[in-house]
Structure 1
Amino acid sequence: MPARPLDLDGCGELARLERSGLVESRHLGAAAVVDASGRVLRAVGDVGATVYPRSTLKPLQAIAMLEAGARFTDEQLVLASASHCGSPAHLAVVEGMLSEDGRSPDDLQCPVDPPLGSRERAERRAAGLPATRVTMNCSGKHAGFLRASDALGADARQYLHVEHPVQRRVVETIAQWTGEAVHHTAVDGCGAPLHATSLAALARGIARVAAEESAHAAALTTAVRAQPWAIDGVGRANTVVIERLGLLAKIGAEGLVVLATPEGVAVAVKVLDGGMRATTPVALALLVAEGAVDADAAAEVVASLAQPVLGGGEVVGGLVVSV
């Protein structure tokens, strides 16, 4: 099936930014709310369009690692599915995984990159510490790929090659959980193969994971709820949503987020311009509208994460969800 990328005609308004009573910016995009059976409960825009899921695919990649025979502690499993902020605690888990497997950070094939979190990046710079492969936000996933490669008895030096046994297992897992065959593959920012899906298929796959349709999915969701700090970082959006609402939550670069309830209702949001500001508020609003999340609890989370619009040091506006 040829890829049909999301375009302007396939988008609706997801949110707008208001300043002193006037709309200053608008966020266009698409969103799909799906249950674990695959039924689309609500569609905003063209949810059949092809998108790069980016890091929202990490839960499925982690399940592929488990299916390959890799074994992890809860913290390690969450780091294998994380876009971590680069805190010392995150780095310690990744370094511990490598050490347990007789490896060093030099065995990682993700790029050298400073921490994702602005605070963590500033603290590391102030301490005179360089960026490394471990500080790159996908380092836990790469350590997981190495462990899965060992479990399969494969050549770990080739673990990012699209035909490597681990990466073939990832493709099979994506097709199994989303119900959609992979028909377009690129290279993600971390160097791993990146498999495009439709927005509806992405939501369907995450809904099934959250509903714990296999022992490996249950292991992942249990670990995420036990160690929510590990998937993102203390006070950061995914971690706050997991801690306070009990959802499975995963951001992806270029305006992606997936959220899912334990009952298996999931939402996938793609903001067309790649901005992240509207992703979590829009996703939560759509789950609230379907009765899948308590409205008051969601509103408290959104308020705690909000970035107010300031004028002269005073709040003069903010983000308003349109869906």
Structure 2
Amino acid sequence: MSQTFPVAAAVELAVVERSGFIESRHAGTAIVLAPDGTTARALGDVEQPVLPRSSMKPMQALACLTAGAALDGERLGLATASHSGTERHVTVVRDILEAAGLDESALACPAAWPEDGPTRDGLKRELLGPERVYMNCSGKHAAMLLTCRTNGWDTATYLDPAHPLQAHIRDLVERLTGSRAVATAVDGCGAPVYAMSLSGLARAIQRVGTSSERSPFALHRAAGALVRAVREHPWTIQGPGMPDTIAAEKLGVFAKSGAEGVCVMVAPDGTAVALKMLDGSGRAAAVTALALLTQAGALPAPQVARVIAELPLTVSGGGQKVGVIRPTV
């Protein structure tokens, strides 16, 4: 059976401090790539396979672009997103579906409540329930459906690993990581997700995050457009007050979190980070990635400190702040 790295291959990346007592420790692996692509720092065994989960979405969105889907601006941001389900997000997802000549019933992702609290509360007040369009991967799924309609591919089976769209995505993922997928699994949204080394994930996200729209190569031009869409519309990538959106909005960082404690980031200078928390918790992932970029000299420490203050890292007790989640790298 394929598997991720064992406990012995991990290192401590972050801790949870409560009233001066270290209550919990998050172990994992992390890699920092210098702007030239060389390994600047490796923590733990970064050659062991991980499932990138939603950190693979930039590659899936890029595959949709290279297959001819008409995605740009907010549409392209939503194709890359794990969105919080605000009405603004859902409006764009529906717009992508309309462009494909489809409605929400074509989405094969599970129905879900929006992660955004006010939107969720509003649905409950109206006695409405979970819907597929509110699922945080619905933008990716809408983009996949648009790609299928653009190419005349079947839309009913678009999540089958053997479908032409998924075959194209896998080819592009392997091209960007520079290696064959170790295993194929089913992501939470139902789409295929491919196991790869953490170093391969870092290489792939750096190649996407440093691409130029002026490149002579079509793939790089498309990747440059994708990154620009997220940086110009940071609300699309996740949502108000959420780590990926804050990193893009305040620091110009191309960030994409994934389930089970995965996080990738590319700083404006091209420095890239990929990490995986072994316990699957994502609560310390973004702050740890930002700390690694800062230590690499890719981000200004004072500005990062202000951004970190906006992240949900407070440990509460009795209704008051008694501690914090902090990186130990």
Is TM (by shorter chain) over 0.5? yes
Q: Secondary structure at the match of 2:204?
A: helix
Q: Secondary structure at the match of 1:43?
A: strand
2:233 counterpart of 1:246 = no
Instruction: Tell me the equivalent position of 1:42.
Output: 41
Q: Aligned partners of 1:306 and 1:69: how far apart in 2?
A: 38
Q: Aligned partners of 1:138 and 1:313: how far apart in 2?
A: 34
Answer yes or no: is the 8 Å Cα contact 1:207–1:261 preserved in 2: no
Instruction: Tell me the equivalent position of 2:69.
Output: 70
Q: Aligned partners of 1:122 and 1:33: how far apart in 2?
A: 40
Unaligned runs of 5+ in 2: 213-219
Instruction: Tell me the equivalent position of 2:58.
Output: 59
Give the counterpart letter for 1:111 in structure 2.
Answer: P
Unaligned runs of 5+ in 1: none
Shift of 1:3: 4.3
Count of aligned pairs between the two proteins: 322
Shift of 1:244: 0.2
Q: Aligned partners of 2:80 and 2:18: how far apart in 1?
A: 37
Instruction: Tell me the equivalent position of 2:4.
Output: 5
Q: Which runs of 4+ in 1 moved over 4 A?
A: none
2:315 counterpart of 1:309 = yes
Q: Aligned partners of 1:4 and 1:236: how far apart in 2?
A: 30
Q: Secondary structure at the match of 2:30?
A: strand
For 1:60-139, what aligned pairs fall within 5 Å after superposition?
A: 60-139=59-138
Instruction: Tell me the equivalent position of 2:241.
Output: 235
Shift of 1:151: 2.2
Give the counterpart letter for 2:74 in structure 1.
Answer: E
Q: Percent of counterpart pairs with the same letter?
A: 44
Answer yes or no: is the 8 Å Cα contact 2:53–2:258 preserved in 1: yes
Give the counterpart letter for 2:234 in structure 1.
Answer: P
Q: Structure 2 residue aligned with 1:220, among 218, 226, 231?
A: 226
Shift of 1:179: 1.0
Instruction: Tell me the equivalent position of 1:173.
Output: 172
Shift of 1:316: 1.9
Instruction: Tell me the equivalent position of 2:285.
Output: 279
2:325 counterpart of 1:319 = yes
Q: Aligned partners of 1:171 and 1:288: how far apart in 2?
A: 32
Q: Aligned partners of 1:301 and 1:168: how far apart in 2?
A: 39
Answer yes or no: is the 8 Å Cα contact 1:35–1:204 preserved in 2: no
Per-residue deviation, residues 252-284 of structure 1 (Å, max 9, x unmatched): 011111110133211111111111110011000
Q: Aligned partners of 1:48 and 1:4: how far apart in 2?
A: 12
Q: Aligned partners of 1:310 and 1:150: how far apart in 2?
A: 49
Answer yes or no: is the 8 Å Cα contact 2:85–2:136 preserved in 1: yes
- The RMSD of aligned alpha carbons is 1.4
Q: Aligned partners of 2:299 and 2:320: how far apart in 1?
A: 31
2:156 counterpart of 1:157 = yes
Q: Secondary structure at the match of 2:162?
A: coil
